[in-house]
Structure 1
Amino acid sequence: MQTQVALVTGAADGIGWAMARRFAAAGCCVALADLDHDRTAARAAELGDRHLAVRADVADEASAIAMVEETVARLGRLDILVNNAGIGDSHKPTLEQDLATFDRILRVHLDGTFVASREAARAMAGQGGAILNVSSIAGLTGLPRRNAYGAAKAGIVAMTKSMACEWAGAGIRVNAIAPGYVGTALVAKLFEAGRIDRGRLERRIPLGRLADPAEIAEAAWFLCSPSASYVTGAVLSVDGGWSAYGDAGDASLA
């Protein structure tokens, strides 16, 4: 069986890095893409010589196109794309939010997912493949002060379903995961800044804790693996029960 090539965006840290490690452990040759090329190169070297670091700004169409082209040119093919690259929002009340920040968040999440998926589908033509988009509980439920982020992640859900229906005939499966709160450096900074009360947050989560990035990576690998060969257009919540819990809880948690 030919070695599969997986491209993971936002792979320098956090969930993206956990995904890159998991896909490499499954035998994939991984292209790690991120704006921070030095860190990404170090991560790729940590995985081994056959893996690739690609500098990419997914919010820029030319850069996103070049990212896919470089992956195919240097690794020979593309079987899996994980659209993980993203940025946080300001956590400000709606009346204090500015359009420039709103637009930037949508460009990274929506434009980046759209362009990378379009180019990946072209590369997968005639062979099939799997595309995984990273949404969020913010795209499935209402979270105060998360307008841009929530809108972007909800848009990713809609895009996932549309692409899944359109590309199924070409053997390209498109799914999404919707993580809850994950123990990443970004979330740690929100705790430190007092934007989120960790104790109240964990009490709101039925499983009582944040996810480990490796747990999100396991769900990602499942949806991209042969084990999910009949799954497309699905959105898998990986949130410790957050979206299943009927009581919205304290709005300050968001």
Structure 2
Amino acid sequence: MGYRSVFRPGQFDGQVVLVTGGGSGIGRCCAHELAALGASLALLGRTRDKLDAVAAEIAQAQGWSEATAARRVSRHACDIRDEARVQAAVAEVLAHHGRIDGLFNNAGGQYPSPLKDTSQKGWEAVVRNNLTGGFLVARECYTQWMEAHGGAIVNAVADMWNGMPGLGHSGAARAGMVNFTETAACEWAVAGVRVNAVAPGWIASSGLDTYPEDFKARIRKLARKVPLQRLGTEPEVSAAVVFLLSEAAAFITGTTLRVDGGVPNAKHTWALPPHDKSRPYTGFPLYRMPDFLQE
């Protein structure tokens, strides 16, 4: 069973998209959808084994031969916080594919921590992961290719509007990435480069399985705080990313598209009535809910 994308087949024929954090979660899902729509891919992440596994999944889903798969999907082990390695990895992508038409700047990560318990080391690690690293990848894609040829960049941020209690280091970094997105959209428009962001809210992604048990207990209760009364899915985020990368978004730049079920619009003055009227979109056949949400 193939990816049930809402976009037309062949939408990304002849294009190359770099997906950071492509070894799991939303990055993996988006890589599958882009491949189903005709894109060749450069998967970048810290762990080569995960990238290899996703590349193998995509090849099987698309029915590619081994030679075609090797040509269409390259894998690049890279810590995006390492400037020299990012520069080299983007050069590797260009050496393999000859172009970079799109970038999904998805890699990042954080850990739960109240501000009073967050060390400088922990703060800086999360900011480098979610802001500095994304800047480095975007800058290298721009200077090494897009400045001369145009392109589209989508940066992953988060639902950090009005603060992000318990994840303040990540909230600060994601807010910085929104501002970077808006600035780059202005500075890089002269090269025909669009820069947007997508802000996932509470998404039932595989990464949630790595959180501590007390945090998982809080996540189980989150749906009641969402106007749509559920968590989001990886394919719902991927669809937003694919739209922003596509030609349909040719006049959209500098914007942040929320994929959050309306959480920032929920107010303490309005009781959210329980309902089951919102139906999730799950076009990715390999998507599965995190284990602890299936209990």
TM-score by length of 2: 0.80
Equivalent-residue separation in structure 1 for 2:264 and 2:88 (angstroms): 37
User: What is the CA distance between 1:117 and its match in structure 2?
Assistant: 0.7
Q: Which residue of the other structure, out of 155, 168, 183, is the alignment partner of 1:147?
A: 168
Q: Which residue of the other structure, out of 119, 123, 126, is the alignment partner of 2:148?
A: 126
Regions of 4+ moved over 2 Å: 196-200, 246-249
SS in 2 for 1:137: coil
Contact conserved, 2:18 with 2:43, CA < 8 A, in 1?
yes
| CA separation of 1:154 and 1:248: change in aligned 2, threshold 3 A | farther
Counterpart residue number, 2:183: 162
SS in 1 for 2:148: coil
Question: 1:186-242: per-residue Cα shift (whole Å, max 9, x none)?
Answer: 22343x602142443110011111111111000000000001000000000000111
Contact conserved, 1:45 with 1:51, CA < 8 A, in 2?
no
1:221-236 equivalence runs, <5 A: 221-236=242-257
Contact conserved, 2:188 with 2:194, CA < 8 A, in 1?
yes
| CA separation of 1:248 and 1:218: change in aligned 2, threshold 3 A | farther
User: Is the counterpart of residue 70 in structure 1 residue 81 in structure 2?
Assistant: no
Equivalent-residue separation in structure 1 for 2:53 and 2:113 (angstroms): 34
- Gaps of at least 5 residues in structure 1 are 250-254
Deviates more, 1:220-229 or 1:21-30: 21-30
Q: CA-atom RMSD, angstroms?
A: 1.7
1:1-254 equivalence runs, <5 A: 3-48=14-59, 49=69, 50-89=72-111, 91-122=112-143, 123-138=145-160, 140-190=161-211, 193-195=213-215, 196-247=217-268
Matched length: 246
User: What is the CA distance between 1:248 and its match in structure 2?
Assistant: 9.4
Question: 1:152-205: per-residue Cα shift (whole Å, max 9, x none)?
Answer: 000000000000000111100000011001112222343x60214244311001
Equivalent-residue separation in structure 2 for 1:166 and 1:59 (angstroms): 23
Contact conserved, 1:7 with 1:32, CA < 8 A, in 2?
yes
Equivalent-residue separation in structure 2 for 1:6 and 1:248 (angstroms): 44
**Identity over the aligned pairs, expressed in percent?**
37
- Greater gyration radius: 2
Contact conserved, 2:48 with 2:77, CA < 8 A, in 1?
yes
Contact conserved, 2:196 with 2:253, CA < 8 A, in 1?
yes
